[in-house]
């Protein structure tokens, strides 16, 4: 019989090690901590959805949504999903509905950025707090935070706009009442104005139909479709005074439905008025409002003064340069506390236009009552022009310079 073919000896090969089980993704590793699993069991005893389960461990790991955290923990513990959630009552299954309602509420508004806020109501808050009493709050995220974030993501996709912490509009979801409200951020416009006539106040005043604010704001209100306005000025001139200097201001427009405004065109529209002129209009901010209102620049005034008796020489008035003591003027006592104030006159010059008439220019620090510097206000301001040269009255008053310099107010340097 033929011999069997010889077989080659088997080659010694490498011993293959068993295929290792895949490592858990880093985001899931913390959920295998026995302490976390024990806490999750206590939460699951309350029959909660994946969102409300995962939210109790939101700070345990990153890279997962709360729903993904909840599903992971549920699978690790082998627990089925409940028919209804005892905490949110199915709220997270209705987020698309809330996003659609929010989008509808924003129709007709111009905005680039938005933010979502919510008011959960006592029924949600109490259920969540009851859960926290049992499992603690070390790792949790509040329900409203998740609602705000998840509805915000849906709105970004619906609107093609970005959520932002400093938004143009804020949508507020009243989860208990089932209502949606919209809060529109104000618009702020910086500029400087001149008041070219006497007899109109800067802002709203009883018995005066026209104000500087109204003249400036009128074209802006039409263009922005705003609900209301406010003028924040760097000080204010008296009603019977002109302001020939350029006074910095910020115009605030409340609830504007339109946010893109043609500032140069609006400047021209304001300047059609013979009473008020504006210049240097730029977009501004609430921070700049604070800066403008807090500023206390020197001012230079021009006053036409009438003396009771002829005057030959104004040089004695140089004695007024320096510290002036002023008791609250009688004309403003009805709205100001009766206090003694120390003010400084920094410069004073003048010329006689007739034996009984003079034009004075006075530079004083902020808060100087310049009319009373002239009249003496019955001895409440000392020294005064009247004390030096005899009784006199102010015929006209103009603000001719506001020494804002190039200091920074809010977000810009002013060189008005």
In a domain, 19, yes or no: no
Number of other CB atoms surrounding residue 332 within 10 Å: 12
Same domain, 288 and 304: no
Q: Which domain holds residue 73?
A: 29-77
At residue 27, the pLDDT reads 56
Same domain, 100 and 161: yes
Per-residue pLDDT of 4-36, as tens digits, reads: 444 444 444 443 434 334 444 555 556 778 888
Distance of alpha carbon 303 from alpha carbon 368, whole angstroms: 14
In a domain, 18, yes or no: no
Question: For this structure, is 377 an active site residue?
Answer: no
In a domain, 378, yes or no: yes
CATH code, 311? 3.30.70.3190
Could you tell me the pLDDT band of residue 368, with boundaries at 50, 70 and 90? very high
Instruction: Report whether pLDDT(125) > 80.
Output: yes
**pTM, entire model:** 0.85
**Which of the residues 89, 174, 238, 255 is marked catalytic?**
238
In a domain, 82, yes or no: no
Same domain, 305 and 389: yes
Distance of alpha carbon 106 from alpha carbon 231, whole angstroms: 27
Last residue of a domain, one of 132, 149, 184: 184
Alpha helices in 173-329 (DSSP H): 212-224, 263-270, 286-294
Last residue of a domain, one of 47, 77, 107: 77
- 71 class by beta-carbon count within 10 Å (0-12 exposed, 13-18 middle, 19+ buried): middle
Query: Of 166, 140, 137, 121, which Cα lies nearest the Cα of 51?
Result: 140
Per-residue pLDDT of 69-103, as tens digits, reads: 999 999 999 999 898 999 999 999 999 999 999 99
Same domain, 201 and 251: yes
Between residues 197 and 415, the one the model is more confident about: 197
Last residue of a domain, one of 247, 263, 294: 294
In a domain, 2, yes or no: no
Same domain, 312 and 286: no
Q: Residue 300 is encoded by which pair of tokens? A: 């230079």
At residue 395, the pLDDT reads 98
Helix and strand totals (H; E) in the chain: 11, 16
Per-residue pLDDT of 187-241, as tens digits, reads: 999 999 999 999 999 999 888 999 999 999 999 999 999 999 999 999 999 999 9
Q: Residue 364 is encoded by which pair of tokens? A: 């004083």
In a domain, 412, yes or no: no
Same domain, 352 and 257: no
Instruction: Report whether pLDDT(164) > 70.
Output: yes
Distance of alpha carbon 196 from the chain centroid: 32
CATH code, 159? 3.30.2130.30
């Amino acid at each position: 019989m033929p011999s069997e073919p010889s077989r080659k000896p088997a080659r010694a090969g490498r011993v293959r090690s068993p295929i290792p089980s895949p490592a858990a993704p880093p985001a899931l590793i913390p959920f295998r901590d026995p302490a976390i699993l024990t806490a999750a069991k206590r939460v699951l005893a309350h029959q909660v959805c994946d969102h409300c389960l995962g939210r109790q461990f939101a700070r345990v790991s990153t890279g997962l949504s709360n729903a993904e955290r909840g599903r992971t923990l549920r699978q690790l513990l082998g627990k089925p999903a409940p028919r209804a959630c005892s905490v949110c009552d199915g709220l997270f299954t209705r987020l698309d509905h809330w996003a659609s309602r929010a989008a509808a509420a924003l129709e007709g508004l111009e905005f680039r950025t938005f933010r979502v806020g919510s008011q959960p109501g006592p029924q949600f808050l109490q259920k969540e707090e009851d859960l926290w009493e049992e499992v603690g709050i070390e790792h949790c995220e509040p329900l409203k935070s998740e609602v705000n974030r998840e509805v915000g993501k849906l709105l970004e996709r619906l609107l093609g706009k970005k959520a932002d912490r400093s938004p143009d509009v804020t949508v507020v979801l009243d989860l208990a009442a089932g209502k949606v409200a919209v809060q529109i951020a104000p618009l702020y416009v910086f500029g400087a104005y001149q008041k070219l006539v006497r007899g109109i106040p800067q802002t709203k005043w009883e018995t005066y139909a026209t104000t500087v604010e109204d003249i400036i704001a009128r074209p802006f209100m039409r263009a922005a479709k705003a609900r209301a306005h406010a003028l924040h000025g760097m000080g204010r001139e008296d009603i019977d005074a002109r302001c020939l200097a350029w006074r910095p201001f910020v115009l605030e427009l409340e609830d504007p439905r339109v946010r893109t405004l043609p500032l140069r065109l609006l400047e021209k529209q304001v300047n059609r008025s013979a009473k008020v002129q504006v210049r240097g209009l730029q977009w501004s901010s609430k921070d700049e409002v604070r800066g403008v209102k807090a500023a206390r620049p020197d001012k230079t005034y021009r006053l036409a003064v009438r003396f009771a008796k002829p005057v030959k020489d104004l040089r004695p008035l140089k004695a007024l340069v320096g510290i002036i003591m002023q008791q609250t003027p009688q004309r403003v006592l009805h709205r100001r506390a009766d206090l003694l104030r120390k003010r400084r006159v920094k410069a004073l010059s003048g010329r006689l236009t007739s034996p009984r008439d003079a034009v004075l220019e006075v530079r004083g620090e902020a808060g100087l009552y310049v009319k009373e510097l002239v009249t003496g206000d019955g001895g409440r301001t000392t020294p005064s022009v009247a004390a030096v040269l005899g009784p006199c009255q102010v015929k006209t008053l103009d603000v001719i310079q506001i020494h804002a310099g190039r200091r920074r107010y809010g977000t810009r340097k002013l060189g008005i």
